[in-house]
Amino acid sequence: MPTILDRILETKRAEVAERKAQPQPRPAPTAPRGFKAALDAKVAAGGYGLIAEIKKASPSKGLIRPDFDPPAHARAYQAGGAACLSVLTDRDYFQGHEDYLIAARAACALPVIRKDFMVDPWQVEESRAIGADAILIIVAALDNGQMAEIEAAAIEQGMDALVEVHDAHELERALALRSRLIGVNNRNLKTFEVDLQKTYDLVRHAPAGCTFVAESGLTTRADLDAMAEHGIACFLIGEALMRQDDVAAATRALVG
């Protein structure tokens, strides 16, 4: 049975082929903002490093935020103390768009990761062209050669790469790359179940010197404090914040 990731990747390859054939002229972006550096600075100052996600919808939940307003959410996240933004740009499964990233980044001073499915180094150039400061590398989606190629393109563009893993084998493959920014996705891509214990176990066996980001299914300050007891001080949170009327206050309640 094909997983949701298999289906997304198939759609993405077709989309990328189309976009490559019709490149969009764009104004030059401003210089990259240090993404990993912003997370590390928050943690060095004794706080939590939050990547706050601008997410309209997801394949498992459908529409999350009816009054979706990327620049307003970006300002609210910054005011609430987030270190970085994540903006979903995948159209078919997450109702995202590049224009959301462009608008969100212009509305604040935070570094922004383009949350999308990289299958081709060309997408990394496109990500920088729309202003992204970092890209996501999903280990489960790529072979080792593809990962290295996409990472090299990111380094070439002066961007950071967040390398996403789900298990010990993927972590081992991630550690063969140069990036020392590792996301542990608590959400099982096949079942959509969230298991925080798996993240604790994984990080316990990791070598020192990496910045770990716990991703998905985190909702309360208590969730973050529990993660911190296991040595994880950075978090990627979308839905729990996007469902709040007062996004800035909710962000402050998590990391303020």
Ligand X SMILES: O=P(O)(O)OC[C@@H](O)[C@@H](O)c1c[nH]c2ccccc12
Give the binding site for ligand X (CB under 6 A).
53, 55, 115, 164, 185, 215-218, 236-240
Report the alpha-carbon distance of residue 93 to residue 165 in Å, rounded.
Answer: 20
Q: How many separate helices (H) and strands (E) can be counted in the chain?
A: 12, 10
Instruction: State in angstroms the smallest separation of the CB of 204 from ligand X.
Output: 21
Instruction: Give 26 or 61: the residue with its C-beta nearer to ligand X.
Output: 61
Instruction: State in angstroms the smallest separation of the CB of 238 from ligand X.
Output: 3
The neighbouring-strand residues paired with 49 are 234
Report the alpha-carbon distance of residue 77 to residue 121 in Å, rounded.
Answer: 30
Instruction: Give 30 or 60: the residue with its C-beta nearer to ligand X.
Output: 60
What residue number has its CB nearest to ligand X? 238
Q: What sign does the CA torsion over 94, 95, 98, 101 have?
A: negative
Instruction: State in angstroms the smallest separation of the CB of 152 from ligand X.
Output: 21
Instruction: Give 46 or 186: the residue with its C-beta nearer to ligand X.
Output: 186
Instruction: State in angstroms the smallest separation of the CB of 115 from ligand X.
Output: 5
Strands (DSSP E) contained in the chain are 49-54, 57-58, 62-63, 84-88, 112-115, 134-138, 160-165, 181-185, 211-215, 234-237
Instruction: Give 153 or 241: the residue with its C-beta nearer to ligand X.
Output: 241
